[in-house]
Structure formats: C-alpha cells, structure tokens
Amino acid sequence: MKLKAFIKLLLKGMVKEAHIYLITFAIFPIVLSAMYGYFQRNLFNPSNEMNKIGIYIRDEDSSSLSKELIDFLSSDNMKQVFEINKGKEKAKFEIIIPKGYGDGVLSSEDFQIKVNQREDKAKYSAGIVSSIIDKYNEEKHQQLLIENKIKKMTISDKEKDELLKKTKEKIYVANGTNAIKNDIIPADKALTSFEYYSVSIFSFMFIVNIMVLVAGYYKEKETRIFNRIISSSLSKLQYFNYSLVSFFIFALIINTIYILTYRLTGLSFKGSPMLLILIIIAKSLLEVSVSGVVMAFFKQQKHAILFLQLFIMLAVTLGGAFVPMYRISSGIILKLSDYVPNALIINVFKNFLLYNSFSSIKGYLVIFILISIALYGISIIKIRLKWEG
C-alpha cells in the first residue's frame, strides 16, 4: 500500500505538470533535432558516406587462390564498393595477403589477411572491408570442399567437369553476391541527420532525466517531507526502494513520450516496436540506478548538480551529443569518446536504426542491465551503512 501511495503521488504530479513534460521531452527535442538535422544535413548525405573505398592490395602469396581474391575485389560487382589503387599512398586501406594464404583456404588452417587502416576516421569502412573478405574466404573454402568431393566421385571426367561447372554457377548465384552484400550497410540505411540528432539528443536527455528524477528527492528534503516520512513506519531502505520504483515508472513514461513523438512524426525510431520497448526499459533502468547513486552519496543538491554537470560536459565535448565525433576528431580523443557515458546510448539506438535486429542491440542491453545492477548494489550498501538522506 505504501508503494502504491508513492506511485499514485507520482502520477498525480505528472498529470498536473503534463504540459511542462510535453514541452521538455517532446516539442523541444523535435524542434532542436529538426534545426540541427536541417543545418547539418550535408554531413549525413549517404552519397558522401558511401564513396568508394580506396584499397591497395599486396600479394605475398602469389598463388592461384590469392589471384582469385584479387580478381574478386576488382570485379564489376565490387567496383561499386572498392577502388583499387596502384599505390598505397592514396588508399584508405592496405590489404596484405600473407604467404600461405592459398594453403590456408584449402585446409581451413588459421591465416590472417591484414587490413591496415591508413586513416583514423575510416572505422566504418574498416568493418565493410573486413567483413567482405571474411565472407569471401568462408564461401571459397566451402566451394573448394565441394569441388574436392566431386573430384573423388567415381564418374567420368566429363561428368565431373559438368558437375563442377553447375556447382560453381549455383554457389555464385546463392552466395557469390547476395551473402556478401548482406554485410554491407547500403547507402539508404545510413543514418539521416534527423535520425542521428534524435539519438544524440536522447543520449543528452539521459542526464536531464536524472536531474529531474533526483530533484523531487531534494525538494522533499528541503521541505522536511523526507524527515516526516522516515519518522513514520517507513524505513530509509523502503523509502529508497519505493522512490526508485516510482522513478522507473516516470522514466518509462518520459522515454516513451520522446520515442513516440519522433515515431509518429516519421523522423526517427521506425524499427521494431518490441526492440524499442526493450531499449526503453534498459535505458530507464540505467537512469534510475544512476539516480540512486546520486541520492545515496550526495547529501546536498548542489553537489549532485556539480556531479551531473560533469556528465553534461563530457556528453557535449566527447560524447558526440551534437556533432559525430568521428567527423571532428581522431586518434586518442576518438577512442576516449567510446567510453563517455552517453556513447552507449548513442550506439544502441544507432544499431537499432541501422540493423533493426535483436542481435545488434543485445550486447548493449546486457551492459545496461549489468551496470544498473552494480550501481543499485553500491547504493544499497551505502544506504545500509550510513545514509543521512
């Protein structure tokens, strides 16, 4: 019943201030992302994003199979993806086919084709290059296994040749193009400027949500409501847990409002509703767990605000909240940006928008849940040891 009272109080407050929440979490973000999306649209032009990838190939094996790989990368099908450079100076990537490559493909032994990235900002293209080569090698190995089995069959040489020819044609049709193209993100699946800013602003709103959540707690302390609640039959641990449950409901509602606003306007978040629900739940859990840490460790609101402002600074400077980091920085700064708190949120939604599959987001969901559990555990320990509230 006490928990029900917490939730009822929360919902009453949200209804009373519904106009504020709609402006803050629906209208304002749409206007902001629309402005940024419009003025920065040229940065997200798919034709610019999908320019041909310049590669230089160094063949250290000089076998028939290494030459077949080079022919494949130079084929008409791959010309829409790659541009073969005669010198490595102008190439984004240097592909080194190692000695023993041909024997490795035949026997399925471990071998490594090196893909040397020559530009720090070519991380996206690196994934394309590596996945295409890996897919080719996998299919080539399967093709060679089939051919060897045919050669060992007790049939005439003419029948073997015909069977080999038909098998090669079937393998090419089934795998030679489609399977490899499946590993390439087409130009029309690259994030639009509106999609990027819907995600980046959402990651920024993560911190805003936490500020809103803990503001109610500090207001209760200021007005002495907290002391009156604790002096009743409610323990500090119960108050803390009930607060987090009500925070979770608040976060779910606010995050859903944000997502639905973009979805209904057709600007972003057009994928599977079930995947969106999973991400919203995981993000809300993370917001609540961080809020719990703030409540447990910061007695005064001013100290909590300073702590959260640090997150805001990181989000703006290193988190790519308003400009993609790979477009404005490189090297150490680009690597550091991967560990900024809001980067996880950007990445999970980016994968959702690009791939729209559970496999593309499950790793991030697990990270969200593990971090949430860890932070909640730390908060509970602090509450049990000493919590002045």
DSSP per residue, 300-342:
SHHHHHHHHHHHHHHHHHTS-SSS-HHHH--HHHHHHHTTSHH
Q: Which residue has the tokens 């399925």?
A: 108
29: confidence class by pLDDT, cuts 50, 70, 90: confident
- Looking at 2.60.120, 3.40.1710, 1.10.3710, 2.40.50, the CATH number of the domain 51-185 comes to 3.40.1710
Q: How would you classify the pairing of strands 53-59 and 114-117?
A: unpaired
| Alpha carbon distance 87, 90 (integer Å) | 7
Pick from 330, 321, 41, 340: which is nearest to 191 by CA?
A: 41
Across 42-51, 127-136, 184-193, 330-339, the highest mean pLDDT is recorded for 127-136
The reported pLDDT for the residue numbered 173 is 52
By DSSP bridging, strand 93-97 and strand 114-117 are: antiparallel
**Domain parsing of the chain, residue ranges:** 2-43+189-385, 51-185
Per-residue pLDDT, averaged over 111-135, amounts to: 71
pLDDT in tens, 99-113: 888 777 767 666 678
Between 172-186, 284-298, 362-376, the lowest mean confidence (pLDDT) is in 172-186
Q: Are 126 and 115 in contact (CB under 8 A)?
A: yes
Q: 332: how many CB neighbours lie within 10 A of its CB?
A: 9
Q: Do the beta carbons of residue 171 and residue 143 sit within 8 Å?
A: yes
Confidence of residue 20 (pLDDT cuts 50, 70, 90): confident
Q: Taking residues 184-211, what's their average pLDDT?
A: 73
The count of residues in the chain is: 389
Instruction: Tell me which H or E stretch contains 117.
Output: strand 114-117
pLDDT-based confidence at residue 389 (cuts at 50, 70, 90): low
pLDDT class of 183 with cuts at 50, 70, 90: very low
Buried-state track 212-243, b at ≥16 Cβ within 10 A, e below 16: bbbebbbebbeeeebeebeeeeeeeeebbbbb
pTM of the shown model: 0.62
Question: Distance between CA atoms of 176 and 75, rounded to whole angstroms?
Answer: 12
pLDDT in tens, 274-310: 999 999 999 999 999 999 888 888 888 788 888 888 8
pLDDT of the residue at 319: 56
Q: Fill in the amino acid letter for 180.
A: I
Mean pLDDT across 216-239: 71
pLDDT at 187: 43
pLDDT attached to residue 181: 44
Q: At residue 117, does pLDDT exceed 60?
A: yes
Are the C-beta atoms of residues 324 and 196 closer than 8 Å to each other?
A: yes
